[in-house]
Each structure stands twice: as structure tokens, then as C-alpha cells.
Structure 1
Amino acid sequence: MTGRDTDGWRSLDARTLLVHCAWMAAPLGSLALTALATGGDLDLRGWITLGVIGVVFAVITTAGFVTWSRTRYRVTGDSLELRTGLFTRRLRSVPLHRVRNVDLTANPVQRVLGLTVLRAGTAGSAGGRSELSLDALSRPEAVRLRAELLARAGAVSAQDPVLATADPRRLRYAPLTFWVFGGVFAALGAVWRVFDGIGIKPWRIGFVRRSFEEFGHSALWLTVPLALLAVVVTGVIGSVLLYAENWGRYRLEWTDEATLGVRHGLLTTRSVSIERARLRGVALREPMLLRAGGGASVRAVAGGLGNREENRKRSAVLPPASRAEALRVCAGVLGEEVPTDGLLPHPRVALRRRVVRALTWCVLPPTVALAVLGWLLTPVLLYCAAGYALLATPVACHLARDAYRALGHAVRGRHLVVRSGTFGRETVTLRRDAVLAWTFSDTPFSRRSGVVTVTAGVAAGEDGYRIRDMSATEAAGFADTATPGIVTEFLDGSPLADHPRNASDEARI
């Protein structure tokens, strides 16, 4: 259903007009329920609603038809061109040699109609300024055009195997993510905002008010655990459904020798292409709950995926899965297996700093607050303060030790490996030739302890990856070993050889 002119210009799929009318589902559904409840006898408000829907439908359909009829695209010998506009004609052209990724996405309505949105990203497309979007094409046409763009951009036939595909067994890792708890409260917050936006006070709704009253007059020792259990069960179900929707039909493969392709999505399909030349490394992510369950996820450290927020959304190459599978995917993406065990440890003072932070920020403030309130109000709170301190102190010290044990760095062949974190542990493997700069940062406290935080600057991913609390006497030497030549001039006879001391407490090399 895609037309073609004699000079090579092609039109978008005509079924795009139906997508523009998808908004009608909600008001028509509400109107149908009203008619069903009243036996088909609509009042004046119902007829006015129907009339407004008809007028808006006519306006949107006309605007959509004009946009569709005046939008054309074509692939020439060296560029992808898009022509739009009715009164003011606009022509955008992207050289094919600058195309870095071609993404295919489809929301549920587009999937029902067999349509797909194609987005071609180019070098320097951060923020979407150099991205062309074709909304929308038929699925076969989008797949064919994607292959054509990648081939014309210099890709060759694929020889590498498929790295990973969808596996229902991964669903067991879904409850080990943030959404098992955060998703429930996020959903409740969204419902609250909707009610508040239309002028309804949720706490004034009859059954809500009665539920809170009954909850307050019941046995709290029983109802509170049951409420927490209900939140957990709801979160587990929601996280599994969300995982299935986001990562259904998942496939990770080298579509050719120069392009890594990721496709996933059950209702809304998304396909992301990452050029091998812009791939700088991988990040193995192990949040605390997922790590406790033996799982991990993988992100690609790559350029050309947009700004930092877009990069985080588009760089995921493996959803939460077993750690063994995550390591296998890391090796497949890097093209070789890079050991991440046995990293160089950090000085013991880093452990002391983490223990002090944990006690200062997690144990001391609540204990002092409860003690002050107990002194002012009731002695019961004094016992609560003592109990909290006794329980929280060993937990904080354990987490501090875990954070210290996670610290590590090493040079492994062509790669630099960095690991840190306890709540959100991350092991980053970077190509050494991708590091463009080093930043040495300290504070008066870290300077006194003889440690420094070193950041490897990379034009990809998070733009910089930190090696926290390294020995100040070893930092510059390690940086020179990882990337010979960048810091060599600072090693001999420079304060940076021992520690980056300057007025701003930070030196960029």
C-alpha cells in the first residue's frame, strides 16, 4: 500500500490514517457504556458528545490525509530524503554513510494494522536533531527499507550467530526488579493524579473511606502484614506482565558483520541497531535483589544512540536473566570473553569511608530524631531509638563491606574493567582505545585518606565511568598503563604522580 512516483519518491502507508483515529476508542467506549446503561436512550449531553466526536474525527482525518498525501521519501545513490509540507515544502536529506542505527517501533494499534515506524539515526544525532522518522510503513516495507539502508551504509552479510532469543524461563527474574514495589506505588500515584485532575478527591469516595475506617479499627498486627502481602503479590504480577510486554519476542543478533540488532516488545515492538564501530564496551548490571537471585542484565556502551536518557532506553541488549547467560552475551557482544573476576582491590581506607558514610547517613539521623522526640514526648521513643541503632548498625556495616568488596579495576588485554556498587552493582568492560580522557577528583576528606576517584571519559554510554577510591599513589600510573600516552607527561615531576592536588580539587587530563 506504498505508492511510488516515477522519480523514486514513495508515500507512507495509507493505513496510517486509521492510526490517527485511535484516540476515538476511549470516548466511543464511554459513550457505548452510557448507551448500554440507559437502554439506548441518550440525553442531550450524550448527543453533544457524539457530535463533538464527529467534528473532531473530521478535522483529524482531514489533517492526517493532507499530511499523508504530502509526505514522500526516497533512497538515492548516497542519501535518504524526506519531503513534507503543504504550503511550506521541507526537504530533509541524510547521507547514507552517516546512518548509524535504524530502529523499528510499533505501538499496539500499529501492530494490529501491520504498520511500523522507521527511525534512521545518524552520527551526531543526540537529541534527535539528525534523525529521520517515517511514520508509518507496512511491516514488510519497513524491514526491506531497514536492510537497504544498512546495506547502502556499508554493511555486509552476517556470519555471526544469534546471541540470545526470548525465553519464558527469564520471567522468574521479573519480580527481582524495582517494579515489584515501585510499580505498585507508581500506578497508585498515576490513578491519584487522574482523579485529582478531574476534580475527584479519592479519599472522599465511599468505599475508599470505608476501607480506611475499617483498616484503622481492625487488628493492625494482622491487617498490616496482609496489606504488605497484597502489595507484594500485586507487584509480582505487575512486574511479570510488564516484563513480558517489554521483552516478548526478544532477539539479539549480529544482523551483519558490522551491526548488532536488538528486537523486543510484545505489544509495542522496538528494534534497535548498534554499529560495531561505535560499540565501546558492555555494562553488566546486578541490582541487589537481582544479584541475590543469581541474575543480571546487560547494556551496550555505544555511541550514536541519542542523548543520555535515550541511550539508557536503547542500549539494553539483555533483560534480567541468569548471570551465566549475561556473561555469555557480554562475550558475544565484545567478540571475546573478558574475565571480570580477580580485579585489583582498593585500599582498606575505602572500607572505612563506606562504614562512616553508612553510619552517618543511615543510622545516626533516625536514631537522633527518635531520641530527641523521646526526650520531649514519651520514653517509649527512647527505646525505639536504641532498638533502631542496634538493628541498623550491623545492617549498615554489612552493606558497607559489600560495597567495598565490589570495588575493583583491572586491565584485561584490550579492555579496561571497572566494578562498583552494592544496591546497583555494575561491572563495565571498556575498550582501552575508547578512553579519551581521565579525570582525577578528590575532596578534603579523600585527600586526607590518600584516595582519589578516577573517571575514564568515553564518548558513549554515560560519557564517563568512575573508579572510586583508588590509591592516590597508583591512580596516574594505572591510567597510563590503561591508555599509554594520555597521562605520560604528568607522571614525572608532577604532583599528579602522587595525587591530583590543585585549587579546585579536580584535575582533568
Structure 2
Amino acid sequence: MSDPTPITPTFDADGRLAPGRHRMEIVYIALSSFRILLGFLFALIVGYGPIVAGLTKSGVSNIFSITVLFIALIVLLVAAVIISLTIYYKRFSWEITANDIHIHSGIIVKKQVHIPFSKVQSIDYTAPLLARLLGVVNLKIETAGGAINRGVEIPALKLNTAEAFKTEVFKRKRENQNQSAQAQSGQAQSAQAQSTQFQTAQALDSAQSSAHQQTGNLYEQLSQTASDFRGMLAGSYEDSSPVDYQYGLSIKELLLSALANNKTWLMALILIGMLSQVGEALSFIGISDRVEETAVWVWAELGIVAVIIATIFSLLLLWLLSVVAALLSYGGFKASRRGGRIEVERGLLQRHYKGVALSRVQGVVITQGLVRKLMGFAEIKLEVVQSMDTSGGQQSDVMTQGSGLILHPFVRLSRVDEIIANMVPDLIACPQVTDYQRLPRRARRRSIIRWFAWPSLICIAAVAIFDLLLLPPIVSTGFTVISPYHAPVLIAIVMALCLLAGIWWYKRAAYAYNSNILVIRQGIFGQKTTLLLRKKIQWAALRQNPLQRCSKLASISAVTAAGTSGTTTRLRDLNEDEASAYLDWVRPRNRD
């Protein structure tokens, strides 16, 4: 029996997706061809010069024939790519049935995937720059998660189709799960829902009023415009599901987050690498001597002032670049909770959307690097269960870091409890800082030994080996930049940093737990606080090495299902009786 011919997605009179099998958009062929051929062309262009140069040195003079062959190869590649993508487009279809999602694909080997609604955990979509201009997104369906589960992708859907797809799937999932419960709850549940929606509307009106009072600058208007931009092909769609809590990112938070962005230091390394090649580039174009003369004159006239000015200018340039990267990455940031789902979307040029069911949230991590801690800000990240990507590896999209989803990149500490309580209601009764238990004094000695004694001994041994074995040959060549006097200075700096690391780790380390939530805080120059739900801990452990047994100390760990293969949170050097009490707390109870 022949399969029905897929059609372009359409909507019925109620604004829902029409039944039947649907195609992805035909712009998939153009977008995928552009992406694939761009890589091919770059490789051919880069390889053309060295190949021609090698053949010329070998005595081959017919360069014209080689060029013709390269052009013919490019034409064949273009034709092969377009033909294969066209066949894939015609054989790919998707359908939402009464109980599951059907996806048909394959060029030579036909493949059918059926995903029951009960297994769907998240539906996300991303739009690279060119796709966003066209109003097309790549949609990904995540199931139970873990190392053996991979997300299923539907490429090249119109934005309104992807939004309707997400809404329709979760609506049918709720209908299938709650059909019997809704029949029993009756009018009481309806009245409660109306009251909840009324309170939600009041909270949203207040939040929106506060947000409007903070807006008005050019960037926020540009960010809002970019967030509302849907593309040329995307139609309109209104999600009618109520929003329980929602917030955005102010221009002040964006600019401050750029200062603490790790990309700043990455850009610094890139800039240093580029500057290391400036000499060769100037020598190649024949002006290195003049540049060298100018540099000597500047040093003679300005001296250390020139170095300070150059350093300040370089730092400002790096900071401006990181600001631009942060503005583009987090522009139009919006996070919200709709019932049992958390949704985050951001990006000025490339738009990314990610939704997470509250049932997949394993915990929350509050991170303060050195800059964030000095300024009184923090990053909030959700630890969530993730599925594998289509290539078999853990997801590495821009919305996630490791096993987590960034809930807010740079928020003032005074707002952290509010955001966590509203986005993850299970953590509303989290232990407060006044409830934290510090480690015993015996743990300070072990912390100093771990962070100071061993690294210092390794550093001293490495410097001694360098001075005895490597330095004499270097000095004998006349190279005087490195001298034996540098070693004591280096050792002193390293030992001081290691000593501070050991003391600060002990001062920051603490833990607390109540009936449902475990909190572990630790860090050295920064601080990391992990909040874990007791019901989400897969298993817990207590460990003691011989030195800990002598000091009556122990280390504890908690493993959750976050990521694709689990995430472990550890804390060292608790009193052994307190570590045993932690194990008793984790053990199942009768009411569990």
C-alpha cells in the first residue's frame, strides 16, 4: 500500500495543525546546500594553492587543465549535494497522531520513528542567522534522556509551525495523562485554576509594569525588536498557555556579564597569538624595519608610559569585543515558567529556544567567579537530564553548559532566591545561609595540605630540575632572559597562592539539608553552591581514606541523573558522624 503524499503544514479553523503527514519547508535544500558547500569550497580553495605550487615544483606546467579539473570537481559536488538533499526532502515527513509522533526519513534505507507523547520531555528549536532571516527553525524532540537516548530532529520548519507543533504535542500529552484526573476533580479544580490564573495575571502585570519602567534605552528597544522578529516565511502564532513567572535581562546585567565572561580571557589568548604573528606579517610586506624603528623611538620617548597605554588599550579592546559577544548571545533573553515547564530563549542574530520539564530538573547551581563575587552577582544554572545529540555525544549547544541550562547569566544575589522559588517551586523551602554547617577545624589542616603542601612540593621539584638540568645549557648559549634568581620568586608566588587556596576553600566549604533539599557550598577564589532535591539523588556515598580515618573525617557525594551519564557532587572532610547522618538522610523512608 502506498503512503499518503506529505503536504506543507497547514492550520485548521481553530489555529491547530491540520492532521496528516507534513513536509519540512523546501528552503531546507537551499540552507543545507549552502552550509555543506561552504565547507567544501573552503577546503578546495585552501588546498588549491599548495597543490598547484607542488605540481609546479614537480615540473607540471599545465595549470589550466588542473584548474578546469578543480572547477569540474566543484560542479559535481554541487550537483551531488543538491540531488541528495532533494531526495531526502521528498522522503522526509512528520505527523502528529492521536498518541504519538511519526517521522519518516531515509534516502536508500527508509526509517520510521514513533515517539509516544508520554516519552517526550522537551521540544527545542534553534535558528542560525540565515534561517532566522527566512523564519525557519530546526526543531529537536528530546525523550527520556541518558546515554542511550538521542534527540530526534525535524529540520526546516516555519517558526509558527514549530510553535504550534510544541503546543500541540504537550497539549495532547497532558490530555492523555490527565483525562481521568480531570473527570474526578470537577468544579473544585476549575475554581482553583481560575484563582491561580487570576493571581498569575496580577503578578505578570506587576512584572511587566516594572519592566516597562526600566526600558527605554536604544539597546533594549533593539533587543525587543530582534526578539519579536520572526523572519520572512514565519507566520504568526499565539501560545495561549498561561505564564506563571517571567523575567528578562537588563542592559546593565548584560554589560556586567561581559566583564565576567570567560570569553574575555579566550579572546586575550587569541589576541596574543595574533600579535605573535605580526612580526612575520610585517617582514613579509617589507615594513618590519620601519615598525621596529618607530617602536624604539616610542620606547625612548615614553618608556613605561607607552607600555601602560598599550596594555590599557588592549584590555579595553578585549572588553569591548566581549561586550559585543555578550550582547549578541544574550540579547532578547527571556526566561519563563508555564506550569510544569521552564522555557529559555535568547540571541540577537541567532535565536535559540530551549524548554525543560520540571521533572527533568535535578538541582540548581549558583556560581560566583571572582569578578561576580566581588560585584555581588551570580550565575544560576539548572542541572537537567539531557539526551544525546544526533551524533551520539552529549549536547553542546549554546544554551547549555555541561549538564546544565543557564537560567540567568548575571543576577544580583538579592534576586537569586526569588528566581529559584518561582522557576523551581520544589526548592522554595531551601535551607538558608544561617543553617549552613561549617567543616570541623581538623578539615582546615587537610585543606592546607591538599592545596598547599603537595602543589608546593611539586613546584619546588620541577624548578629544581629545571635549574640543575635545563638552565645551564640555556645560559651557556648567551640567553640571559631567564636566570636562577627567577626560581625563588616563582616558588614564593605559587606557594602563596596555594596557601590562600587551602585557607579560602576551608572558609567557603559548608553544607546543610532539611527534609527535602541538600545544599553544598565550596570554592576557592569564587564560590559554587549546589542545591539538590533529595528525591532526585540516585545514590549517595561516604568515603574515608587512611588519613581521613585517623582524623575521624569523611567525604560525601551525591549522584543525580543530570547530563547524559549522571553528575556527582562531592564535599570533603566532614565529621564522620555527620557524614553517616547524611547517608541516613538519603535512605528511603516509608512515605517515599
Change (3 A) 1:279 1:46: same
Report the counterpart of residue 82 of structure 1 in structure 2. Answer: 103
Report the counterpart of residue 117 of structure 1 in structure 2. Answer: 138
Change (3 A) 1:471 1:14: same
Report the counterpart of residue 20 of structure 2 in structure 1. Answer: 8
Identity among equivalent pairs (%)? 18
Unpaired runs of 5+ residues, structure 1, are: 32-42, 196-200, 487-509
Change (3 A) 1:472 1:165: same
Deviations 1:351-370 (A, max 9, x none): 22222233335544445555
Cα distance in structure 1, aligned partners of 2:293 and 2:452: 39
1:100 to 115, 121, 125: 121
Which shifted more, 50-59 or 468-477? 50-59
Cα distance in structure 2, aligned partners of 1:10 and 1:474: 59
Cα distance in structure 2, aligned partners of 1:349 and 1:242: 45
Report the counterpart of residue 212 of structure 2 in structure 1. Answer: none
1:182 to 263, 266, 281: 266
2:418 to 328, 336, 340: 328
Deviations 1:47-82 (A, max 9, x none): 776655444333322222111111110001111111
Deviations 1:291-320 (A, max 9, x none): 222221111122245476656355222213
Deviations 1:8-51 (A, max 9, x none): 110001111220232456859x99xxxxxxxxxxx958877665
Amino acid at match of 1:319: P
Report the counterpart of residue 294 of structure 1 in structure 2. Answer: 376
Corresponding position: 1:148 with 2:164: no
Cα distance in structure 2, aligned partners of 1:96 and 1:322: 38
Cα distance in structure 2, aligned partners of 1:402 and 1:206: 52
The aligned runs of 1:77-476 (5 Å cut-off) are 77-124=98-145, 126=147, 129-154=149-174, 158-171=241-254, 172-185=256-269, 205-206=284-285, 228-229=311-312, 231-255=314-338, 257-306=339-388, 310=396, 312=401, 315-335=405-425, 336=428, 338-342=430-434, 343-367=436-460, 369-370=462-463, 381=483, 383-423=485-525, 425-461=527-563, 462-476=566-580
Report the counterpart of residue 40 of structure 1 in structure 2. Answer: none
The count of residues paired between Structure 1 and Structure 2 equals 464
Shift of 1:208: 10
Change (3 A) 1:175 1:2: farther
Deviations 1:84-121 (A, max 9, x none): 12343211111111100001111111111110011010
* Conserved? CA contact 1:103–1:118, under 8 Å: yes
Deviations 1:233-284 (A, max 9, x none): 34322322222222222111113x1211111222222211111122222111
Q: Tell me how large the CA RMSD over aligned residues is.
A: 3.8
Q: Which has the higher contact order (CA 8 A, sep 6+)?
A: 2
Shift of 1:136: 1.2
Amino acid at match of 2:110: R
Cα distance in structure 2, aligned partners of 1:211 and 1:95: 71
Cα distance in structure 2, aligned partners of 1:12 and 1:442: 57
Shift of 1:145: 0.5
Deviations 1:124-164 (A, max 9, x none): 4546x442210110111111101111222228975453332
Change (3 A) 1:340 1:266: farther
For the residue of structure 1 that corresponds to 2:414, the secondary structure is: helix
Change (3 A) 1:102 1:360: same
* Conserved? CA contact 1:287–1:425, under 8 Å: yes
* Conserved? CA contact 1:264–1:271, under 8 Å: yes
For the residue of structure 1 that corresponds to 2:538, the secondary structure is: strand
- Give the structure-2-normalised TM-score: 0.69
Cα distance in structure 2, aligned partners of 1:411 and 1:105: 38
Change (3 A) 1:373 1:282: closer
* Conserved? CA contact 2:363–2:531, under 8 Å: yes
Which shifted more, 112-121 or 5-14? 5-14
For the residue of structure 2 that corresponds to 1:401, the secondary structure is: helix
For the residue of structure 1 that corresponds to 2:438, the secondary structure is: coil
For the residue of structure 1 that corresponds to 2:348, the secondary structure is: coil
Change (3 A) 1:207 1:312: farther
Deviations 1:412-456 (A, max 9, x none): 342111111224522111111222321122333333333221111
Report the counterpart of residue 585 of structure 2 in structure 1. Answer: 481
* Conserved? CA contact 1:371–1:382, under 8 Å: no
Unpaired runs of 5+ residues, structure 2, are: 1-5, 11-17, 46-62, 179-239
Shift of 1:331: 2.1
Report the counterpart of residue 505 of structure 1 in structure 2. Answer: none
Cα distance in structure 2, aligned partners of 1:59 and 1:226: 55
Shift of 1:406: 1.4
